């Protein structure tokens, strides 16, 4: 029988299996690494060599497959689907969103590699004559491969999947949610826990690698400016200080701490880049930028598949320490950056998300790497600064400061680089702690973040892992560990691709059903319909419509369905700060997608062009599983509400028939009951 059910708000809580499983694995690693430092370093080196030799070809193919997948999804018919309910809109402006993409996905590594990597590729290329014109032209292009759309395709894939399943279908903001089309409710069991534990451990190593690289850069910067010694003990102190600052930032949340730091750092990095451009040989640098971009675009496919199979042993070792390391590093960072991108991209369409997250960071990266890389190569090749070349091959953290010595105001620019490093360090650590806390929590609302104490815990753990890896051998150990831990997670990403395709096909079937069965307009005299369109209803009028039309219509419809052997339920709940209830009719179909029809009252500001006695009016908005329908039921009679219910129910049955014909009947949870973006709750 149809009835009203009271709804109790669930609370955010720890996911004990994922949390304790992840912590146990990390504690074992910390203990073994700190107690057996030499053996750990040897193990990491051997593991990297084995993975590169055995799975190098696989990493090359996987990275291309991930990128092709997201581009195809973005340009397909599914690109118009929103990462959230149909009525949702982006939370952050394009500028703020771009700044956070830049800070989370690139971070301090941009300072570490932007001079060192192009110079290293010029001096020691894998298959060209060192210090030749060909090596000079190829150096920045090779750097583009490691930092360009190939890696960002991974971030976009994970961010798109997490945002889609969490914000559109109200599944947890966790990796397991992207496997729902394959596993169904089993994602809440051992398989889902294992996937999330793998993601947490992979994320921790990816972030620790970046922070380890960052602290080496920061230590040298302080040594350069203040004669602070370069040593492991100093790096441990720096990690502790940055963890404290990151904790303060992460406690303040995405909207305040992380967003503001990201915007500040993007502007500071832009200023430094323009300074180097205009203080250097500007026209030559711009010429080289255009050539680098053209070479990257024209040679992208060939470089993406180049395994150096016909080159010598030295080229294979180069591939291991450069390309395979970078692909493993991108994979290890994918859960972290993917979840962070999902967290800041709610409300954007898939197409907008794919285009923005692929090409906004790419554009900045190409300009940055070309200006700094070509400036460094020019110093080595044409001005005889051999010291810079030696540093690029042996101590890459020093190269940015050495480059700036050949420009005016080095004391100021060195300070800017150090500040950039500190803030990048903090934004990577705080966003990483936030993501890990969300991964290991069961959140009552996907729009919430995990409790503060859990964010603090993960901030400390990230610092400890970074210290352990530095103790085990510095940069080499960091590189080895990240490639090894990324291998199993790369398989999870392929499973996510399959789940995404199944879910989007189901979404397409629903859209086809809505197009093929047109809904009937409400009955009644046309003057009554015009009155309803112009009506700015009072709360009393909305309450009367709910009480005398909508609730009886839902109840009568549910009772009729139950009399025909179907399972139908009417529930009622009150949103915080709203006295009028949300009413929801749900009809279940076993393993197939449920029919959901919800009516939510929302207090809205009265448009200035409509004469009214009050500044606000109340809408009674209709929500289906996929989100708001821009339909207000104010003034509807009981018969008109039932007519709309029948029309939507017919569409849903047609959708189930289409999905069944395609063998894609697996149910997906829905997103309902959220106010439109311009609603003002009373």
- Taking the C-alpha atoms of residue 507 and residue 501, their distance in angstroms, rounded to an integer, is 10
What is the per-residue pLDDT for 675? 46
C-alpha neighbours within 13 Å on the C-beta side of residue 500:
28
Strand pairing category for 13-14 and 592-605: unpaired
8 — pLDDT class (breaks 50, 70, 90): very low
The secondary structure of residue 440, as a DSSP letter, is T
Per-state percent for the chain, helix, strand, coil, to nearest 5: 70, 5, 25
Q: Yes or no: say if 608 and 517 are a contact pair by the CB < 8 Å rule.
A: no
Is the model's pLDDT at 120 over the cut of 80? yes
Cα-Cα-Cα-Cα torsion 29, 33, 38, 40, nearest 10 degrees, comes to 10
What is the per-residue pLDDT for 164? 93
What is the per-residue pLDDT for 399? 95
pLDDT for 22-37, tens place per residue? 999 888 877 877 788 7
C-alpha neighbours within 13 Å on the C-beta side of residue 211:
35
For the chain, what percent of residues have pLDDT higher than 70? 85
What is the per-residue pLDDT for 529? 55
* Average pLDDT, integer, range 117-145: 96
**What kind and span of H or E run contains 501?**
helix 475-516
Which of 376, 469, 105, 402 shows the shortest CA–CA distance to 266? Answer: 105
Q: Which residue has the higher pLDDT, 658 or 667?
A: 658
682 — pLDDT class (breaks 50, 70, 90): very low
pLDDT for 38-87, tens place per residue? 887 788 788 888 988 899 999 999 999 999 999 999 999 999 999 988 87
558: left (phi over 0), alpha (psi -120 to 50) or beta: alpha
Q: Which residue has the higher pLDDT, 378 or 664?
A: 378
Q: Which residue has the higher pLDDT, 348 or 211?
A: 348
Domains and CATH numbers, the chain: 13-505 (1.20.1740), 520-661 (no CATH)
Identify the bridge partners of residue 600 per DSSP, sorted by sequence position.
Answer: 621
What is the per-residue pLDDT for 209? 76
* Average pLDDT, integer, range 210-233: 88
What is the per-residue pLDDT for 520? 52
Spatial CB neighbours of 397, under 8 Å, sequence gap ≥ 6: 112, 116, 213, 216, 217, 219, 220
Q: Yes or no: say if 183 and 191 are a contact pair by the CB < 8 Å rule.
A: yes
pLDDT for 435-464, tens place per residue? 888 889 887 776 677 888 898 899 888 888
* Average pLDDT, integer, range 202-224: 84
The three-point CA angle 612-615-619 to 5° equals 85
Identify the bridge partners of residue 584 per DSSP, sorted by sequence position.
Answer: 571, 598
The secondary structure of residue 184, as a DSSP letter, is G
Q: Yes or no: say if 403 and 391 are a contact pair by the CB < 8 Å rule.
A: no
Alpha helices (H) in 535-604, listed in sequence order? 539-545, 551-563
Q: Is 495 buried (19+), middle (13-18) or exposed (0-12) by CB count in 10 A?
A: middle
What is the per-residue pLDDT for 279? 96
* Average pLDDT, integer, range 662-681: 51
C-alpha of 660 from chain center? 32
- Taking the C-alpha atoms of residue 485 and residue 330, their distance in angstroms, rounded to an integer, is 11
Which of 407, 394, 380 shows the shortest CA–CA distance to 139? Answer: 380
Q: Which residue has the higher pLDDT, 161 or 35?
A: 161
Q: Which residue has the higher pLDDT, 11 or 400?
A: 400
Q: Yes or no: say if 369 and 118 are a contact pair by the CB < 8 Å rule.
A: yes
**What kind and span of H or E run contains 600?**
strand 592-605
What is the per-residue pLDDT for 172? 83
528 — pLDDT class (breaks 50, 70, 90): low
Sheet of 592-605: strand order equals: 567-573, 582-589, 592-605, 616-624, 627-632
What is the per-residue pLDDT for 173? 80
Is the model's pLDDT at 128 over the cut of 70? yes
Q: What is the mean pLDDT of the chain?
A: 84
The secondary structure of residue 548, as a DSSP letter, is I
Tallying the residues shown for the chain, one arrives at 682
Exposure pattern of 366-377 as b/e (b: 16+ CB <10 Å)? bbbbbbbbbbbb
Q: Which residue has the higher pLDDT, 574 or 669?
A: 574
């Amino acid at each position: 029988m149809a009835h009203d059910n009271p709804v109790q708000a669930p609370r955010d809580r720890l996911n004990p299996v994922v949390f304790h499983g992840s912590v146990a694995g990390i504690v074992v690693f910390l203990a073994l690494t700190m107690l057996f430092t030499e053996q750990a370093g040897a193990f990491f080196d051997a593991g990297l060599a084995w993975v590169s030799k055995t799975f190098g070809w696989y990493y090359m193919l996987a990275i291309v497959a991930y990128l092709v997948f997201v581009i195809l999804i973005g340009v397909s018919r599914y690109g118009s689907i929103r990462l959230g309910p149909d009525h949702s809109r982006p939370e952050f402006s394009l500028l703020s969103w771009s700044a956070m993409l830049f800070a989370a996905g690139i971070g301090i590594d941009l300072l570490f590699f932007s001079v060192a990597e192009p110079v290293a590729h010029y001096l020691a290329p894998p298959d060209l004559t060192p210090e030749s014109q060909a090596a000079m032209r190829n150096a920045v292009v090779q750097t583009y491969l490691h930092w360009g759309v190939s890696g960002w395709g991974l971030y976009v894939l994970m961010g798109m999947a997490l945002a889609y399943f969490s914000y559109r279908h109200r599944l947890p903001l966790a990796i397991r949610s992207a496997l729902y089309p394959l596993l169904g409710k089993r994602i809440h069991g051992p398989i889902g826990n294992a996937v999330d534990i793998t993601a947490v451990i992979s994320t921790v190593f990816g972030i620790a690698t970046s922070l380890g690289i960052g602290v080496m850069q920061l230590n040298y910067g302080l040594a350069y400016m203040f004669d602070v010694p370069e040593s492991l003990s100093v790096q441990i102190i720096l990690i502790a200080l940055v963890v404290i600052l990151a904790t303060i930032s992460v406690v303040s949340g995405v909207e305040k701490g992380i967003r503001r730091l990201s915007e500040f750092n993007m502007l500071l990095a832009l200023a430094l880049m323009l300074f180097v451009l205009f203080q250097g040989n500007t026209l030559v640098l711009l010429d080289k930028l255009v050539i680098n971009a053209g070479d990257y675009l024209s040679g992208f496919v060939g470089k993406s598949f180049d395994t150096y199979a016909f080159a010598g042993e030295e080229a294979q070792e180069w591939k291991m320490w450069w390309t395979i390391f970078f692909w493993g590093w991108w994979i290890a960072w994918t859960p972290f950056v993917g979840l962070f991108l999902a967290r800041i991209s709610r409300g954007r369409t898939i197409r907008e998300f794919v285009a923005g997250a692929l090409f906004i960071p790419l554009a900045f990266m190409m300009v940055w790497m070309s200006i700094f890389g070509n400036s460094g190569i020019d110093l080595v090749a044409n001005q005889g600064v051999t010291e810079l070349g030696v540093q690029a091959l042996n101590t890459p953290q020093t190269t940015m400061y050495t480059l700036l010595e050949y420009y005016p105001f080095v004391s100021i620019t060195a300070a800017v680089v150090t500040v950039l490093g500190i803030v990048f360090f903090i934004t990577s650590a705080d966003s990483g702690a936030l993501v890990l806390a969300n991964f290991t929590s069961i959140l009552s609302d996907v729009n919430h973040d995990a409790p503060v104490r859990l964010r603090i815990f993960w901030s400390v753990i990230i610092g400890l892992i970074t210290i352990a890896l530095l103790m085990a051998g510095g940069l080499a150990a960091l590189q080895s560990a990240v490639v090894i831990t990324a291998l199993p997670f790369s398989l999870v990403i392929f499973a996510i691709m399959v789940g995404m395709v199944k879910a989007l096909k189901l979404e397409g079937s629903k859209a086809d059903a809505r197009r093929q069965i047109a809904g009937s307009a409400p009955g009644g005299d046309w003057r009554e319909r015009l009155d309803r369109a112009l009506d700015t209803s009072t709360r009393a009028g909305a309450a009367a419509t709910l009480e005398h039309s909508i609730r009886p219509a839902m109840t009568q419809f549910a009772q009729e369905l139950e009399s025909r052997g179907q399972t139908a339920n009417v529930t009622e709940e009150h949103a915080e700060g709203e006295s009028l209830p949300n009413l929801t009719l749900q009809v279940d179909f076993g393993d197939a997608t449920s029919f959901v029809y919800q009516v939510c009252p929302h207090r809205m500001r009265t448009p200035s062009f409509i004469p009214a006695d009050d500044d606000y009016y109340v809408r009674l908005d209709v929500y289906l599983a996929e989100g708001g329908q821009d339909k207000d039921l104010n003034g509807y009679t009981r018969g008109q509400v039932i007519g709309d219910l029948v029309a939507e129910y017919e569409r849903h049955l047609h959708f189930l028939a289409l999905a069944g014909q395609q063998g894609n009947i697996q149910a997906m949870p829905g997103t309902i009951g959220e106010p439109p973006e311009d609603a003002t709750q009373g």
